[in-house]
Amino acid sequence: MGAQFIKHMGAGFLTGAVLFAITGIIAVLVWPRERSSKNDEVAAKTLSISDILRSFILPTRNCRDFYLALVGRLLLMVGWSMVATYQLYILQKYVGLSVDESGTVISTMSVISMIVLIVTSMISGPISDRLHRRKIIVAVGSVIIAIGIAIPIMMPTALGMMLYAGVAGTGYGIYIAVDQALNVDVLPSQEEAGKDLGILNLANTVGQVLAPVIVGGVVATSSYATIFPIAIVCVLVGAVVIMLIRKVK
Protein backbone atom coordinates (compact mmCIF):
# COMPACT_ATOMS: atom_id res chain seq x y z
CA MET A 1 0.00 0.00 0.00
CA GLY A 2 2.80 2.39 0.86
CA ALA A 3 4.30 2.04 -2.60
CA GLN A 4 1.10 3.45 -4.08
CA PHE A 5 1.82 6.77 -2.34
CA ILE A 6 5.39 7.03 -3.60
CA LYS A 7 4.60 10.32 -5.36
CA HIS A 8 2.07 11.49 -2.77
CA MET A 9 3.93 11.23 0.52
CA GLY A 10 1.57 13.51 2.44
CA ALA A 11 -1.46 11.42 1.58
CA GLY A 12 0.50 8.29 2.47
CA PHE A 13 1.39 9.57 5.93
CA LEU A 14 -2.20 10.64 6.54
CA THR A 15 -3.53 7.24 5.45
CA GLY A 16 -1.07 5.51 7.77
CA ALA A 17 -2.13 7.67 10.71
CA VAL A 18 -5.82 6.93 10.09
CA LEU A 19 -5.18 3.19 9.84
CA PHE A 20 -3.22 3.23 13.10
CA ALA A 21 -6.06 5.07 14.85
CA ILE A 22 -8.71 2.71 13.50
CA THR A 23 -6.84 -0.45 14.45
CA GLY A 24 -6.18 0.88 17.95
CA ILE A 25 -9.86 1.61 18.52
CA ILE A 26 -10.91 -1.76 17.11
CA ALA A 27 -8.46 -3.55 19.39
CA VAL A 28 -9.91 -1.84 22.46
CA LEU A 29 -13.48 -2.64 21.41
CA VAL A 30 -13.04 -6.32 20.57
CA TRP A 31 -10.33 -7.42 23.02
CA PRO A 32 -11.88 -9.08 26.10
CA ARG A 33 -11.19 -7.72 29.55
CA GLU A 34 -8.69 -9.84 31.43
CA ARG A 35 -10.12 -11.91 34.26
CA SER A 36 -7.34 -10.75 36.57
CA SER A 37 -7.97 -7.04 36.00
CA LYS A 38 -9.67 -6.48 39.39
CA ASN A 39 -6.87 -8.16 41.27
CA ASP A 40 -4.31 -6.20 39.27
CA GLU A 41 -6.06 -2.96 40.11
CA VAL A 42 -5.97 -3.76 43.82
CA ALA A 43 -2.29 -4.68 43.60
CA ALA A 44 -1.49 -1.52 41.65
CA LYS A 45 -2.98 0.67 44.36
CA THR A 46 -0.64 -0.80 46.96
CA LEU A 47 2.52 -0.07 44.96
CA SER A 48 4.84 2.56 46.33
CA ILE A 49 7.07 4.86 44.30
CA SER A 50 10.09 2.77 45.24
CA ASP A 51 8.31 -0.36 44.00
CA ILE A 52 7.60 1.32 40.67
CA LEU A 53 11.18 2.56 40.31
CA ARG A 54 12.50 -0.88 41.23
CA SER A 55 10.47 -2.38 38.38
CA PHE A 56 12.70 -0.56 35.87
CA ILE A 57 15.86 -2.27 37.08
CA LEU A 58 17.31 -4.64 34.47
CA PRO A 59 17.53 -8.35 35.38
CA THR A 60 20.72 -9.23 37.28
CA ARG A 61 20.15 -12.86 38.30
CA ASN A 62 19.78 -15.97 36.19
CA CYS A 63 19.84 -13.73 33.12
CA ARG A 64 22.72 -14.93 30.91
CA ASP A 65 20.43 -16.49 28.31
CA PHE A 66 18.07 -13.54 28.57
CA TYR A 67 20.75 -11.11 27.43
CA LEU A 68 21.97 -13.48 24.73
CA ALA A 69 18.44 -13.57 23.34
CA LEU A 70 18.32 -9.77 23.53
CA VAL A 71 21.61 -9.32 21.65
CA GLY A 72 20.72 -12.00 19.11
CA ARG A 73 17.42 -10.35 18.26
CA LEU A 74 19.03 -6.89 18.18
CA LEU A 75 21.64 -8.00 15.64
CA LEU A 76 19.01 -9.73 13.50
CA MET A 77 16.81 -6.62 13.48
CA VAL A 78 19.76 -4.38 12.59
CA GLY A 79 20.71 -6.59 9.64
CA TRP A 80 17.11 -7.02 8.49
CA SER A 81 16.25 -3.32 8.78
CA MET A 82 19.38 -2.20 6.93
CA VAL A 83 17.96 -3.65 3.72
CA ALA A 84 14.21 -3.66 4.34
CA THR A 85 14.06 0.00 5.40
CA TYR A 86 16.06 1.21 2.42
CA GLN A 87 14.42 -0.81 -0.37
CA LEU A 88 13.30 2.30 -2.24
CA TYR A 89 16.78 3.85 -2.28
CA ILE A 90 18.44 0.53 -3.04
CA LEU A 91 16.19 0.08 -6.07
CA GLN A 92 16.95 3.60 -7.28
CA LYS A 93 20.63 4.05 -6.39
CA TYR A 94 21.90 0.46 -6.52
CA VAL A 95 19.66 -1.23 -9.08
CA GLY A 96 19.12 1.92 -11.13
CA LEU A 97 15.32 2.03 -11.42
CA SER A 98 13.16 5.11 -11.77
CA VAL A 99 10.78 6.23 -9.02
CA ASP A 100 7.77 4.69 -10.77
CA GLU A 101 9.60 1.44 -11.48
CA SER A 102 10.79 1.29 -7.88
CA GLY A 103 7.23 1.69 -6.60
CA THR A 104 6.02 -1.17 -8.80
CA VAL A 105 8.85 -3.46 -7.70
CA ILE A 106 8.32 -2.64 -4.01
CA SER A 107 4.63 -3.52 -4.34
CA THR A 108 5.56 -6.87 -5.89
CA MET A 109 8.23 -7.51 -3.26
CA SER A 110 5.74 -6.75 -0.48
CA VAL A 111 3.21 -9.22 -1.81
CA ILE A 112 5.90 -11.89 -2.14
CA SER A 113 7.16 -11.24 1.40
CA MET A 114 3.65 -11.28 2.83
CA ILE A 115 2.77 -14.63 1.27
CA VAL A 116 5.95 -16.47 2.22
CA LEU A 117 6.01 -14.93 5.69
CA ILE A 118 2.47 -16.07 6.48
CA VAL A 119 3.05 -19.57 5.12
CA THR A 120 6.40 -20.16 6.82
CA SER A 121 5.17 -18.72 10.13
CA MET A 122 2.22 -21.11 10.15
CA ILE A 123 4.50 -24.06 9.37
CA SER A 124 7.59 -23.36 11.50
CA GLY A 125 5.67 -22.64 14.71
CA PRO A 126 4.01 -26.08 14.94
CA ILE A 127 7.26 -27.76 13.87
CA SER A 128 9.09 -26.05 16.72
CA ASP A 129 6.45 -27.20 19.20
CA ARG A 130 6.51 -30.75 17.86
CA LEU A 131 10.30 -31.03 17.95
CA HIS A 132 10.63 -29.08 21.21
CA ARG A 133 13.39 -27.04 19.57
CA ARG A 134 13.75 -23.28 19.48
CA LYS A 135 17.39 -22.27 18.93
CA ILE A 136 18.11 -24.27 15.81
CA ILE A 137 14.94 -23.10 14.09
CA VAL A 138 15.68 -19.46 14.91
CA ALA A 139 19.23 -19.98 13.62
CA VAL A 140 18.01 -21.62 10.41
CA GLY A 141 15.66 -18.70 9.83
CA SER A 142 18.57 -16.29 10.33
CA VAL A 143 20.75 -18.16 7.83
CA ILE A 144 17.97 -18.12 5.24
CA ILE A 145 17.61 -14.36 5.78
CA ALA A 146 21.36 -13.97 5.19
CA ILE A 147 21.12 -16.00 1.97
CA GLY A 148 18.27 -13.77 0.80
CA ILE A 149 20.28 -10.61 1.53
CA ALA A 150 23.20 -12.03 -0.48
CA ILE A 151 21.13 -12.43 -3.66
CA PRO A 152 21.19 -8.73 -4.70
CA ILE A 153 24.99 -8.79 -4.41
CA MET A 154 25.11 -11.33 -7.24
CA MET A 155 21.98 -10.01 -8.99
CA PRO A 156 21.74 -6.21 -8.69
CA THR A 157 18.47 -6.22 -10.61
CA ALA A 158 14.75 -5.97 -9.94
CA LEU A 159 14.55 -9.77 -10.18
CA GLY A 160 17.34 -10.08 -7.63
CA MET A 161 15.43 -7.86 -5.21
CA MET A 162 12.26 -9.90 -5.73
CA LEU A 163 14.20 -13.08 -5.01
CA TYR A 164 15.58 -11.37 -1.91
CA ALA A 165 12.01 -10.63 -0.81
CA GLY A 166 11.01 -14.27 -1.25
CA VAL A 167 14.03 -15.92 0.36
CA ALA A 168 14.61 -13.40 3.16
CA GLY A 169 10.86 -13.26 3.79
CA THR A 170 10.85 -17.03 4.21
CA GLY A 171 13.64 -16.82 6.76
CA TYR A 172 11.97 -13.96 8.60
CA GLY A 173 8.71 -15.89 8.81
CA ILE A 174 10.56 -18.81 10.38
CA TYR A 175 12.37 -16.48 12.74
CA ILE A 176 9.47 -14.45 14.10
CA ALA A 177 7.28 -17.52 14.62
CA VAL A 178 9.76 -19.11 17.03
CA ASP A 179 11.89 -16.26 18.40
CA GLN A 180 9.13 -14.95 20.66
CA ALA A 181 8.61 -18.43 22.11
CA LEU A 182 12.36 -18.64 22.74
CA ASN A 183 12.26 -15.27 24.48
CA VAL A 184 9.52 -16.49 26.82
CA ASP A 185 11.60 -19.57 27.64
CA VAL A 186 14.64 -17.51 28.70
CA LEU A 187 12.84 -15.07 30.99
CA PRO A 188 14.76 -14.88 34.29
CA SER A 189 11.64 -14.25 36.42
CA GLN A 190 8.02 -15.19 35.79
CA GLU A 191 6.94 -12.55 38.30
CA GLU A 192 8.46 -9.84 36.09
CA ALA A 193 7.71 -11.44 32.75
CA GLY A 194 5.92 -8.39 31.38
CA LYS A 195 8.80 -6.04 32.14
CA ASP A 196 11.42 -8.44 30.81
CA LEU A 197 9.50 -9.09 27.59
CA GLY A 198 9.30 -5.34 27.16
CA ILE A 199 13.08 -5.14 27.43
CA LEU A 200 13.45 -7.89 24.83
CA ASN A 201 11.05 -6.07 22.53
CA LEU A 202 13.29 -3.00 22.75
CA ALA A 203 15.62 -4.92 20.44
CA ASN A 204 13.09 -4.39 17.66
CA THR A 205 12.94 -0.63 18.14
CA VAL A 206 16.64 -0.13 18.83
CA GLY A 207 17.53 -2.31 15.84
CA GLN A 208 15.35 -0.22 13.56
CA VAL A 209 16.95 2.95 14.94
CA LEU A 210 20.54 1.72 14.60
CA ALA A 211 20.05 0.49 11.04
CA PRO A 212 19.61 3.98 9.52
CA VAL A 213 22.59 5.25 11.50
CA ILE A 214 24.78 2.47 10.10
CA VAL A 215 23.40 2.74 6.56
CA GLY A 216 23.82 6.52 6.58
CA GLY A 217 27.48 6.16 7.52
CA VAL A 218 28.06 3.39 4.98
CA VAL A 219 26.44 5.27 2.10
CA ALA A 220 28.30 8.47 2.98
CA THR A 221 31.68 6.74 2.91
CA SER A 222 31.09 3.93 0.43
CA SER A 223 28.00 2.84 -1.53
CA TYR A 224 24.73 0.97 -1.21
CA ALA A 225 26.51 -2.20 -2.30
CA THR A 226 28.33 -2.26 1.05
CA ILE A 227 25.07 -2.48 2.95
CA PHE A 228 24.48 -6.11 2.03
CA PRO A 229 27.65 -7.75 3.44
CA ILE A 230 27.36 -5.75 6.66
CA ALA A 231 23.73 -6.82 7.05
CA ILE A 232 24.68 -10.45 6.41
CA VAL A 233 27.36 -10.32 9.12
CA CYS A 234 24.88 -8.84 11.63
CA VAL A 235 22.29 -11.53 10.93
CA LEU A 236 24.77 -14.44 11.11
CA VAL A 237 26.44 -13.16 14.28
CA GLY A 238 22.98 -12.86 15.78
CA ALA A 239 22.35 -16.53 14.94
CA VAL A 240 25.62 -17.54 16.62
CA VAL A 241 24.66 -15.59 19.75
CA ILE A 242 21.29 -17.35 19.88
CA MET A 243 22.99 -20.74 19.63
CA LEU A 244 25.03 -19.89 22.75
CA ILE A 245 21.86 -19.98 24.86
CA ARG A 246 21.99 -22.92 27.26
CA LYS A 247 18.57 -22.97 28.94
CA VAL A 248 16.59 -23.65 25.76
CA LYS A 249 17.14 -26.45 23.27
Position 55 pLDDT exceeds 90: no
pTM: 0.84
pLDDT at site 182: 87
Q: Does the residue 217 lie in any domain? A: yes
* pLDDT average, residue stretch 10-33: 88
Q: What count of residues does the chain have? A: 249
- Is 22 part of a structural domain of the chain? yes
Q: Assess whether 79 and 143 both reside in one domain.
A: yes
Distance separating alpha carbons of residues 105 and 226, to the nearest angstrom? 21
pLDDT surpasses 90 at 238: yes
Is 192 among the domain residues? Answer: yes
Dump pLDDT digits (tens) for 171-227. 999 998 898 888 888 888 777 777 788 888 888 899 999 999 999 999 989 889 999
pLDDT score at 35? 65
Q: Are residues 173 and 234 in the same domain?
A: yes
Q: Number of structural domains, the chain?
A: 2
Q: pLDDT confidence of 45, banded at 50, 70, 90?
A: low
pLDDT of residue 5: 82
Residue span of the structural domain in which 7 resides: 1-35
Asked whether residue 45 is domain-assigned, the answer is no
Q: With cut-offs at 50, 70 and 90, classify the pLDDT of residue 8.
A: confident
Same domain, 93 and 185: yes
**Residues 68-115: pLDDT tens digits?**
999 999 999 999 999 998 998 999 999 999 988 988 899 899 999 999
